[in-house]
Each structure stands twice: as C-alpha cells, then as structure tokens.
Structure 1
Amino acid sequence: MPSPSIVRVLSKRTVAPPPRPRERIPLTCWDAAMLSSNYIQKGLLFHKPASSALQVVDHLATALGDALLHYYPVAGRFATEQHRDERTGAVVGCSVHVDCDGQGVEVLHAVAEGVTMADVAPPDADVPRDLLAQFFPLTDALNYGGREQPLFAVQATDLADGVFIGFAYNHALSDGTAFWDFVNYWASLARARLGLAPAPSMPKPSFERWSPDGGVAGPAVLPCADVSELIERATPLRLRERMLHFSADSLAALKERARDELLAAGDAAGAAALTRFQALSSLLWRCITRARRLAPEKETACLAAINNRARLRPQLPQEYFGNTIYAIGTEPARAGDLLARAHGWAAAAVGRAVAAHTDAAIRARVAEWTTKPMVYTHRFFDTTGTMIGSSPRFDMYGCDFGWGRPLAARSGRANKFDGKTSLYPGREGGGSIDAELTLMPENMVALEQDDEFWAGVTPDAPVPTPHKKA
C-alpha cells in the first residue's frame, strides 16, 4: 500500500462567476442548524483522461465558471448580523446570510505519485481513510468557516492510472440534493464544451428560502452575540470504514424476506408498504446493534436523513437550492427485543417512521426549533443508534466531465462517527446500492463475523481498468 502522505498540491486558482448585482440570501432554520457541521466531502474516481493533467484542470475550471453563472451563491461567502432589542439596544441574537458578491470558489490541482485506482477503491477491503483524506480540500473545515473560506472547493488529483475529483461543499448552503444538481449541471457543461453532448437546458435553481407561512423568509436568529459561541469541533475518532455492495437481487431478497415475515405475523399493511430502503435499513440497524454488543435493556433507534421537499404542502420544487432535510427516527427499541424480533419487524418500524414524517410533523419541528434555536453538534448523535445518510437517488454516476462516467464514488472523513452509514447508487445501476459503513474498529471486527449481515452483501468487483491496445 502506498504511503498515505504523498499527495502534493501543485496549483490553486480562484474561479468566480460573471459580475452580477450583489445579493443576500438568509440562512433559515434548516441551513443555520448545519453551521457547526463539516463540509460535504464527496469525490469521484475516473480513468485517466487522454488530455494532459493541466488541460483537464483548465477544462474543469472553465466549465465551473460557466456553471456559477446560474449557481452564483456557491461562489459567495457567509456574513453575520447581530440583532438587538429595540428598547434596550442589547444584542439578543445573531443571524447568517450568504453574501453573493462573486468572491469565488477554489480549484486545486494535485498529484499522488505511485497511487493507483486500485489503491483508492480496493474491493472487499477497508476504505483507505488516511489516503482519501488528502484528496479533499478544506480538510476538517466547519460550515461556519464559510465567512473566510470558499463555500465550494474542488481538487483534481492525478493518479498513476486515473484521476480523483474531490469536492468540499458547505452544507449550510444547501443539502445533497441541491449539491448534486449543481455538480451534474457543471459536468454537462464540461461535456458540451468538448462537443460530446448538446448544451444543457438552463437550470432554474430556486434561491428563495422556504417560510412556514408562505411569505418572505427571514433569517434564522440564533441565541448568541456571535455564532462562534455555538460552534463545537468534534474530537477525531478511531474508525474503520467499509464500502459494501448490495445488488438489486440482494435487495429484492431482503425485501421479500421482510415481507414474508410481516405477512406471517399478520401485518399485511406493513408488508404492502415495504421498500428496499426499509429492508436495507433493518439489516444495518440489527447487525450494527449486534456488533456493538449492547446490553439487552439498552435502547437503540434507527435514524435516517430524509428530504422534506415532496412532503411539504405545498411541495417545494426539486430545484429548491437550500437545506430541507431532517433526521427521522424509529421508536426506541431495547437491543434485546430488536435482535429477538424478525428482520421484518425492524423494516416495518423504519417504514412507520418514514410515513409519520408528514407536512404537519415537519412544521411542528420547525416551530419547535424557532422557539429554541440550536445547531447540530457531535453531541446530538446517539452512540447506540444507527444513522443513515446520503441517498442512492443522487446521480453520482451521471457526472461525466468529458472522459467517461465515474468508476467509484467515495467520501472524506467529514461527519463520520460510529454507526454512520451513507448510501450511494451502485456502480452498475439497476437499483443496486453501495453502503459506506463506519464503525469503531472493535465493532467492525464483530460485524465481519456476522453471518446474517454478509449473507445480504454482494461481493464487490474491482474497479475496471482500461483495455490496453495490442
């Protein structure tokens, strides 16, 4: 395995959108709550392009400048404003907004000499965390740092036989849905510039923030004189990560097993509502709980990040460019009961949590947050729970910048903790899913001995290598 400390940054440049009138976009409750979290760190692995490395970086930067014409808030910075009591003049709170003044994003060019694609994405093995961490800019950055740091940065790292494109994106600016819409539009512009595809339709991202009453959204006011008072940096943890593949057939089998168990238990409604997501979540929740060796009376829950756009009434458009996610959770279950009950019971519990996340439930949570504003920190994550983030619906493998589709999707160290799983689309498509699972080392060792878990995992295939000419 190559040394994990050989990535060298060769150059850095700033890319800005075309000049436009200055604009302010307030961070509302869903956005402001993210200020103490890390940047989104997602990356894509590609075969080595035919063009020279410098031409590739120039190509990415030029297309990115074109994309920022429509996604100009990505090139902004955060700015804060104090709110004072009208009578006493005392500071009663602080808010944050996006200052859209074309400050720019960063594009870095790096090289990892001697590192191959197989080193970056080894099949059926641990994720090389130390190596991957160097493929992402703004390492360990917190979202509140968007006052001085770019809200978006990209690093193109040359490998011996490929290239890794690592994105660092401020999560207080928007969620993963909006992020991947932006990246896919950028990629479509890049293909069009090479004459490989027609120019894409002009995107219509909606920067107007949602308001519960349907009016103009005001900024979320946090209970502090300076937002830095609420920011906490998590202590780095010893963790292991595995990328686990679930084929469409494997997921169908998991779902059918849960369905049969629910029908046998007389829960026809639960069986009818089953999804592949519920079946996979059940497997993860039960097997992670078993690997942790929790005391039978210890309570645990399965939580998942869920998109609010289609659940609100009226619905928010897909193009809503901001955060609109919540973590929903099952009713707590005692570890002993969870493991004694069938796979189908846990899948149905996840289904009930999803079904309960209605427009009324969302609005109630917004009202509760407004009464007592807060930001998410590491202390909000339950060490006995299983957390599922990201989404297999994100079009990661559609990001072709002009030299072919990605071969693998990976992430950095950001926002990782014991029991966190991020779901990605499977490389071969067809409804397959890849799960990025993070556990403490001793818990991963126990999971590796879990027959129920590995019966559902599909052996991963090596990253395909380009055919050599004779």
Structure 2
Amino acid sequence: MNSQRVNHISECFIQRKYEVQESKQPCYLSPWDLIVLSAHYNQKGLLFMKPKIGQDGLFSMDRLLESLKDSLALTLVHFSPLVVNLLLYHDRHRSLIFVDCNKGPGVRFVHATVDVKVSDVLSSADYYIQSVVTELVDGIFIGCSMNHVIADGTSFWHFWNVWSEIHRAGGIPISITRSPIHKRWIPDCYDPADLFLPYIHPDEFIRRYEPPYQPGLRERFFHFSSKNVNALKAKANEEINHESEMAKISSFQALMSLVWRSMIRARGLNPNRVTHCTLAVNNRRTIDPPLCEEYFGNSISVAIATARVGELAHHGIGWAALLLNQAVANHTDKAVRNFVYSWFESPYVVDLGPFLDAEDTVQVASSPRFPIYENRFDGLGKPVAVRSGYTNKFGGKVVAFPGYEGGGSVDLEMCLPPDSMSALELDEEFMAYACRAGNDYCG
C-alpha cells in the first residue's frame, strides 16, 4: 500500500496576510534550537472524513483549499519565523545562524490526491503517508512539515491550534486565544546575538540521513485505553510501595516502563548489555521562573533512564517505572541551566547517526498531552486520526499521541525491525494492555 501513486495537483507559496512590527526584527536562536540543526523536519498531519454536504450543498474541495490558504495567511501573521529562511553569517572560524523574518518565500502549500481510503490508513499494518496529501478517496489529510530548529512539539501543535481557530472564524482577522512568544530564552548573562557555532560551513554540522534508515523498518500504531493505562499506573505504584514511599509513578511513566521492557525484550539482547530509555521533557515547566506554554521555539531536553537488559527482565514494571520517575525528577532547573552553560562553553550540534543503529535504546518523543484533537477545521469536524511522516524514524523510536476518545487514552507509533516487531506483537505482557490501533477489537 505504500506504493500508491501520489498525484500532484498544484502548489503555491503562502505569505503573511499583512506585515507586523515584530516580523521586522531578527529572531536569534537558543542552544535548544541550535543543537537540533541536523534533525529532520517535524512531520505530522491530521486525517478527516470528507464531508458529503457542505454549507451550501455539495462539498467543494476547491472551496476548502481556498479557505485553508486564506486562514493560513492570517495565521502566519502571528508566526513570522515560519515564512522565512535560516541565515548563516560566518566570521573566521565560527558561524551565527539566525532567522531574518524579512526574507523568505513563504509557506509551500501542496494539493495532491491519492487513491486511498481512510479505512486503508487506519487499518493497514504498514501504511504511512509519504507526502503531504490533501485529498483521499473519502477523506482529507492536512499535513505539515516544520523545521525542528524553529519549533518543538509544543509549538508545532500551538501553530495548528491557532490555524484551526482562525479557520473556524471564517478566515477573518481575530484576536487569537493564545499568542505565540517568539523571543528565545537564554540566561541573562549571555547575549542572544552571540550564539556562534564553531563551524564555518554547513557540511561540518549538518548530516543527511535519507530514509529508510533501517531496511524493512516496521511502524505500528498501538492503542492503550484509559482503563488499561490506569491499570498500569496502579500496578507500577503497588510494586514500588515497599521501595519508595516518596515516589508516585505517573500514568505515562508506567506506560513507558511497559514499552521499554517490551521493546528491549523483543530485540533479544544480551542480559549484560546496558539499555537506555529517553523521554522528551518540556523545559517550559522546569526552569524557574517557568516559561509560558506559548513560548514558540524549542524548549525540550531528554531525561535518560539506564539499566541492564537482565535487570529489566528480572524486575517488574514498577521497578523500571521508578527509574523513569527518578530521571524526570533529576531534570531540575539547575540541571537545565547547567546544560545551557556547558553548551556555551563548548557549542555543538547533535549528530543523530548513533541513534539510527542503537538497538539498545528506546527513544520516546511527542506527548499524549498535546491538544491534537482540538484542531477542528470548519466543515471537517473532529480528526479521525493523527499520523506522522517518514522522518526521524529508526528502530526503538516511539511517538506518543493522545487517544482518539480522550480520557487519558494513548496511541503510540512504534518502530522496530521486522523480527523484533513480530516478537513484540506476540509479547503476552505487552498485548495484555495494548491493541493494534484501527482494528475492530480496539474499542
């Protein structure tokens, strides 16, 4: 099904509806932004059922496209960094990368079709949408690809929320509910215009990782009902009662404990091998004073739990969950600031290469707290599913989304080599709590 031909219909570039004073100022990046210069774009999209009847009779795809373009142009007034290019200024042996909000072609808007039904996307084991596809046989897929240097997951979905809000308002200028804050955070003792990298050419810090990174990599969506997530949380906390009276395992930590144990078990690694589980942590809530959720940019770090494979197998869900709990608890304001201080002492860009072949690591991205299903575009109703593109995929990668029905349910997109994915789907402990998303027995 991945080989379905995508038919390119049209494309154009969308600029801001009008200029604002803020867009005339350069946007300097923070260490959190610069370290992901070599990361792939964030690619996510929402799948909707195609309406049979529009406001004035039959549904019009042309009318929908025009309304999406108009509302996007108004949305970009509030999100100036999305319409421009990154600029590089080099001075001898170092470079400064920043955003000039006065220069750029705008946002590329593509309309394409594919002979695929919504049910194909929801039920197929291996199906993923390889391009930004707008029109399916009976559905609409609105996808977005955003440079990771410009925004993390929180900011990515903030943009979506504003776009859908403006679209529901009929594409007219409105006072939006949550205005983005574009000034990037760095400690007061540093100048934001002096974040130089020790390179003079992009080839020194940009790595190209063309998919597929691992031949035959399998992607699966697994659904965890709120009932099963709560059961995992209760089980984990019950198991650690005699070990730690202070710690309280969260629902997500309990779920990731199950995922970590199960994915490593499916890889069949040597019991003496060291394994890691990394969780993306939102620094907006960590630093003191905290940043508002409307801070637009990157503000994430990773909390890392470490154990030996044999230890994960010997101990229960609660033990592994406690390791994750402690890793998050250790991620304090002091830890975040120390990271930033050390980066200024020795600036660098993360090389993703080692992650692509790290069979001993489970890397968790995104969050079930993101307001994904709140994106309601006028005339389309509630999204029926969220899907991601092919970027940043490798064995051991887990992408977390809220479940469609809400209430604390979670959907996980999980990536493993073929043999390991088959083993995971036969894992009794894992499948006691999970079901294949999109299947009839997933209710």
| TM-score normalised over the length of structure 1 | 0.86
Q: Within 2, Cα distance between the matches of 1:349 and 1:203?
A: 35
User: Residue 130 of structure 2 is aligned with which of 133, 142, 160?
Assistant: 133
Q: Within 1, Cα distance between the matches of 2:274 and 2:224?
A: 28
Instruction: Report deviation, 1:274.
Output: 0.9
Corresponding position: 1:97 with 2:105: no
Q: Within 2, Cα distance between the matches of 1:234 and 1:194?
A: 38
Instruction: Report deviation, 1:255.
Output: 0.7
User: Residue 395 of structure 2 is aligned with which of 406, 418, 437?
Assistant: 418
Within-5 A mapping of 1:426-441: 426-441=403-418
Corresponding position: 1:16 with 2:7: no
Q: Within 2, Cα distance between the matches of 1:301 and 1:342?
A: 16
Instruction: Report deviation, 1:383.
Output: 3.0
Q: Name the structure 1 match of 2:322.
A: 348
Letter in 1 for 2:102: D
Q: Name the structure 1 match of 2:188.
A: 213
Q: Secondary structure at the match of 1:344?
A: helix
Q: Name the structure 1 match of 2:274.
A: 299
Instruction: Report deviation, 1:102.
Output: 5.6
Instruction: Report deviation, 1:461.
Output: 4.6
Q: Name the structure 2 match of 1:317.
A: 292
Give the gaps of 5 or more residues in structure 2.
Answer: none
> Is the 2:15–2:76 contact (alpha carbons within 8 Å) kept by the matching residues of 1?
yes
Within-5 A mapping of 1:446-461: 446-458=423-435, 460-461=437-438
Instruction: Report deviation, 1:127.
Output: 3.5
Corresponding position: 1:280 with 2:255: yes
> Is the 1:28–1:218 contact (alpha carbons within 8 Å) kept by the matching residues of 2?
no
Corresponding position: 1:7 with 2:6: yes
> Is the 1:390–1:422 contact (alpha carbons within 8 Å) kept by the matching residues of 2?
yes
Q: Secondary structure at the match of 1:94?
A: strand
Letter in 1 for 2:390: R
User: Residue 74 of structure 2 is aligned with which of 66, 83, 96?
Assistant: 66
Alignment deviations for residues 360-402 of structure 1 (CA, whole Å, 9 cap, x no partner): 0001111222222221222342431111000111111111111
Corresponding position: 1:35 with 2:22: no
Q: Cα gap change, 1:199/1:430 in structure 2, threshold over 3 Å: closer, same or farther? A: farther
Q: Name the structure 1 match of 2:147.
A: 170
> Is the 2:70–2:171 contact (alpha carbons within 8 Å) kept by the matching residues of 1?
no
Q: Secondary structure at the match of 2:284?
A: coil
> Is the 2:165–2:176 contact (alpha carbons within 8 Å) kept by the matching residues of 1?
no
Q: Within 2, Cα distance between the matches of 1:432 and 1:102?
A: 42
Q: Within 1, Cα distance between the matches of 2:232 and 2:344?
A: 40
Q: Within 1, Cα distance between the matches of 2:196 and 2:146?
A: 23
Q: Secondary structure at the match of 1:431?
A: coil
Letter in 2 for 1:133: Q
Give the gaps of 5 or more residues in structure 1.
Answer: 84-90, 137-155, 464-470
How many residues in Structure 1 have an aligned counterpart in Structure 2?
424
Q: Name the structure 2 match of 1:112.
A: 114
Letter in 1 for 2:67: H
Corresponding position: 1:386 with 2:387: no
Q: Name the structure 2 match of 1:336.
A: 310
Instruction: Report deviation, 1:53.
Output: 1.4
> Is the 2:214–2:394 contact (alpha carbons within 8 Å) kept by the matching residues of 1?
yes
Aligned-residue CA RMSD (Å):
1.9
Letter in 2 for 1:297: N
Q: Secondary structure at the match of 1:108?
A: strand
Corresponding position: 1:268 with 2:267: no
User: Residue 258 of structure 1 is aligned with which of 212, 224, 236?
Assistant: 236
| TM-score normalised over the length of structure 2 | 0.92
Within-5 A mapping of 1:145-184: 156-184=133-161
Q: Name the structure 1 match of 2:48.
A: 46
Q: Secondary structure at the match of 1:190?
A: helix
Q: Within 2, Cα distance between the matches of 1:54 and 1:462?
A: 33
Letter in 2 for 1:328: A
